[in-house]
Structure 1
């Protein structure tokens, strides 16, 4: 596959938060060109983005009927929708490990993708990917793959769950910024056991990595790929916020940004509830100190802490629920500039 033409090729077009290393490629399928690009050939450890190649390799040999046994279908669906690691490990072992990468590199014409280092043969998340090659993977899926393959893979990416099976909130980046039409295959690595930086063949294997990839807009108009590495010891909430802030600066044709005000939360384990009170069902838990999109605010149960109190609750449209204003923003009980919910 020939490289796409680029309308914008300067790093100035992408705003990268301080301390973050990023590789970015945004491809407008309608115009046939890149709208933003930064370090497109810089290799990052793929984390869970490699699951795209795992599922494509599995489907490649299924034949024209593409019959997927029920057990495999269930396993692949949870791997794509909820980034299940056990499923990825199962197919990595059964399909030949790094041979998956070798086969897919040749089939898709990838130019800067490698399997994990020989020192870590079972670590599928250590496969080296680039933003440029990830655009090529999505272009194959959307423009060249047989219809059953495209329907299965993209259909599941459009139904990605908010939380992975490991409990991590995967609605950062693309999923936080755009509404309503998007698909995602996210990746995260290094947040549970940060260690000193190690590089193998130029690929950083241990710095905290957080990647958002997928499509935005009607008919998957624009492919968005953002790979990032963060300073050692960065919290998940901080990386989540930095990736989302970077994604908000991108030129994404066809993308509709969700309306509202971006505010930073405080506290850890803050719960999002179905109603503005502690009797409302828990819809999710926020990563610590993360940017959230607030659509409006509503009066509800008074919440008091040693330093703050409020009977106003912020409505988070991306969660479909409420968080007490005690843990949103840094001002008084009511959020300035945020409208009341009607």
Structure 2
């Protein structure tokens, strides 16, 4: 159906273990473990928290976090704000700003405007590589460091000059980039670039689901630029990038640390970053950079950065209603209706948590030895998934209302 799984005997044994464990725990806690992979849980959306509470970083994750409230001019969250991370696709903000420096978006050639659109909305690597090559490569970063007064940002190491994703970037410098865009850039530039970031597509052009972190934690309005590096599969079905464009972001999963001013930047562990603005009037700027243990799956990292982002004090943000529930299996489809005959909207990253706001009866689905006719509604995807792949023992999830 929609999952790559082991034999029936293994599935039954694993599922049995899960059920036994859950019978020993209080059902009211609504916490479960997956049948095949990452720890999963039902977790209510956290209530707003006081500014004094720091970010809740999942075990094993290295993070750099900054949340800036533009209304008060103060930071509500600061954690390792000067820590340098390889930027992955977040550097595309600097690439776009460099193209538009002292230049109106209306003056761009049609081809360049199309490249910026797809680079910011779908995080397209080919577009970024074209600008990088045509506009001086690392000199782009040098120019923007001077123009914006960035303190932690460095061009890629001399050993990898073509790899724009190896640009060093910090949470506090990212806040500066967004503050420039919001408060100093010409209105036409601000509206054009933020307009693209508001239209971020769920599936990036390289096949990764990029609506993690900010996009998954808060209701619109938001505008985001995400980054990822060091993963093998991202969930969505999309166009496969060319080898050249993909290499510009990530040449090898085993890349070593390098010198030339970037020796403090980890180039090997999987990286996942969420940055952007949130709330009416773009009140809060949020920058969350994370590194994960080697071998971490995309779904696990996606879940961890989601939990971290949801823990933050973000003034002006509103949080979607529902219950966060773990999933298991790979290639799990989200469909337009509660039936396998309806169209597939997307697939889920393997083992990721999803927000469920209600459930309904639909087509009976069989995945031996399991049979279930309950379907979960996922408001952030605008579709449904069969409850079989939710990490709970019951066919109908306790505590989740009927649609």
Place the TM-score, normalised by the shorter chain, in its bin: over 0.9
Match of 2:324 among 262, 266, 272: 262
Match of 2:68 among 15, 27, 30: 27
- Aligned to 1:60, the other structure's residue is in SS state coil
Aligned to 1:40: 81
Aligned to 1:190: 230
Contact 1:265 1:289 in 2 (8 A): yes
Contact 1:222 1:252 in 2 (8 A): yes
Task: State the shift of 1:68 in Å.
Answer: 1.5
Within a 5 Å distance, the mapping from 1:125-144 to structure 2 comes to 125-144=165-184
Task: State the shift of 1:330 in Å.
Answer: 1.8
Matched, 1:206 2:268: yes
Match of 1:14 among 30, 52, 55: 55
Higher relative contact order (CA 8 A, sep 6+): 2
Task: State the shift of 1:57 in Å.
Answer: 0.3
- Aligned to 2:100, the other structure's residue is in SS state helix
Contact 1:26 1:222 in 2 (8 A): yes
Aligned to 1:68: 108
Match of 1:103 among 119, 129, 143: 143
Q: Distance in 2 between matches of 1:177 and 1:309?
A: 31
Contact 2:105 2:192 in 1 (8 A): no
Q: Give the root-mean-square deviation of aligned CA atoms.
A: 1.4
- Aligned to 2:299, the other structure's residue is in SS state helix
Contact 1:59 1:66 in 2 (8 A): no
Q: Distance in 2 between matches of 1:252 and 1:266?
A: 30
Match of 2:97 among 56, 81, 97: 56
Aligned to 2:364: 302
Within a 5 Å distance, the mapping from 1:111-190 to structure 2 comes to 111-190=151-230
- Aligned to 2:361, the other structure's residue is in SS state strand
Contact 1:197 1:207 in 2 (8 A): no
Match of 2:123 among 83, 92, 105: 83
Q: Distance in 2 between matches of 1:77 and 1:25?
A: 26
CA offsets 1:83-132 (integer angstroms, 9 cap, x no match): 00000000000000000000000000101100000000000000000000
Q: Distance in 2 between matches of 1:66 and 1:40?
A: 35
- Mind listing any 5+ residue stretches in structure 1 that lack a counterpart? 1-6
Task: State the shift of 1:61 in Å.
Answer: 3.9
Aligned to 1:330: 392
Task: State the shift of 1:69 in Å.
Answer: 1.4
Contact 2:69 2:75 in 1 (8 A): yes
Matched, 1:281 2:322: no
Which stretches of structure 1, 4 residues or more, deviate above 4 A after TM superposition?
none
In 2 relative to 1, CA 65–38 (structure 1 residues): closer, same or farther, beyond 3 Å?
closer
In 2 relative to 1, CA 101–126 (structure 1 residues): closer, same or farther, beyond 3 Å?
same
Q: TM-score, normalised by structure 1?
A: 0.95
- Aligned to 1:300, the other structure's residue is in SS state strand
Contact 1:46 1:126 in 2 (8 A): yes
Q: Could you say which structure has the larger radius of gyration?
A: 2
Contact 2:358 2:377 in 1 (8 A): yes
Q: TM-score, normalised by structure 2?
A: 0.80
